[in-house]
Amino acid sequence: MSGKQGGLAAGVYRYRPREHDLVCVAEGDWRAKLATAALEQDRLANAPVTIVITAVYERTARKYKQRAERYVHMEVGHAVENVHLQAVALDLGTVVVGAFDDAEVKRVLSLPANEQPLCLMPVRKPTHSDSASNVLCR
């Protein structure tokens, strides 16, 4: 979301699983607006990258019917765990942020009406001032 990360210009990117690529949906530094949507949490304003995990419940419900929400939440848990494990492997830190205004996150990220934000994961190099109860876990 800021500067150049891994060759990417600052912006909001959407991951496309079929193509296994990222597409820029909004250019510029959106970290401050996302942090405001997340109840002024500085960890989002200061992280060079924030992964936002979203869901389209209706798409999952086509196959799994009334169990869709349960399955979506289980898959989100799996994805979050994998991001944490990869962050540790890369000597990075992250934390799950669940305190945010859903409608405001959707507005900031220009999410479609049927797509729901479920968690935010700021990722960065931990600093000496970080602790288990502080900014990012590792």
- Number of domains, the chain: 1
pLDDT digits (tens, 9 = 90+) for 38-68: 999 999 999 999 999 999 999 999 999 999 9
Residue 51: which domain range? Answer: 11-124
Q: Is residue 111 part of a domain?
A: yes
Cβ-based neighbours of 31, under 8 Å, separated by 6 or more = 1, 2, 44, 45, 46, 47, 50
Q: Is residue 133 part of a domain?
A: no
Q: Report the alpha-carbon distance of residue 32 to residue 56 in Å, rounded.
A: 26
Cβ-based neighbours of 138, under 8 Å, separated by 6 or more = 87, 88, 91, 92, 93, 94, 126, 130
Are 127 and 43 in contact by the 8 Å Cβ rule? The answer is no
Q: Report the alpha-carbon distance of residue 87 to residue 95 in Å, rounded.
A: 10
Q: Say if residue 3's pLDDT is above 80.
A: no
Q: Is residue 56 part of a domain?
A: yes
Q: pLDDT at position 7, please?
A: 79
Q: Report the alpha-carbon distance of residue 6 to residue 79 in Å, rounded.
A: 21
Q: Is residue 117 part of a domain?
A: yes
* Tokens standing for residue 14: 């959407």
Q: Is residue 19 part of a domain?
A: yes
CATH at 106: 3.40.109.10
Q: Say if residue 12's pLDDT is above 50.
A: yes
Q: Is residue 106 part of a domain?
A: yes
